[in-house]
């Protein structure tokens, strides 16, 4: 059993670089649900007149926008975003939650850091 959540678009200040994604979750890989997991993917866009330009073509993970649909963030304690994200001012994320039918993980907080 699975489902997903797609975030709204978020902007970062000019001159900033997106660098780390991390989150807080519960119910991941527990004794009652060892197959419960959370996968996180991102899309980014340049800024055009304070609005997102064209979004990257695919949802991506640590390897960047490379059309690899098996590339996703799975470590909640913080992962570096690919250098493809440099100079991007807009980001959105997709969280995929999977469970076993009787238990499902829960996303509690998402943090995307920039410098």
More confident residue, 53 or 15: 53
Q: pTM higher than 0.85, yes or no?
A: yes
CA distance 36 to 59: 21
Model confidence band, residue 34 (pLDDT cutoffs 50, 70, 90)? very high
Contact 21, 90 (CB under 8 A): no
Interacting residues of 10 by C-beta distance below 8 A, sequence separation 6+: 90, 91, 92, 112
How many residues are recorded in the chain? Answer: 115
Angle, CA 43 vertex, CA 114 and CA 3 arms, to 5°: 115
Q: What is the pLDDT of residues 78-108, one digit of tens each?
A: 999 999 899 899 999 999 999 998 898 999 9
Write down all domains in the chain, each with its CATH number in brackets: 2-114 (2.60.120)
Q: What is the pLDDT of residues 35-64, one digit of tens each?
A: 999 999 999 999 999 999 999 989 999 998
């Amino acid at each position: 059993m699975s489902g997903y959540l797609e975030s709204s678009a978020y902007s970062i200040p000019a001159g900033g670089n997106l660098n780390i994604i991390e989150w807080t979750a519960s119910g991941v890989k527990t004794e009652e649900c060892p197959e419960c997991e959370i996968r996180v993917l991102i899309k980014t866009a340049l800024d055009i007149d304070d609005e997102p330009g064209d979004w990257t073509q695919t949802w991506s993970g640590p390897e960047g926008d490379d059309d690899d649909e098996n590339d996703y963030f799975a470590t909640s304690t913080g992962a570096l975003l690919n250098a493809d994200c440099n100079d991007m001012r807009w980001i959105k994320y997709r969280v995929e939650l999977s469970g076993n039918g009787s238990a499902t993980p829960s996303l509690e907080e998402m943090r995307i850091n920039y410098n």
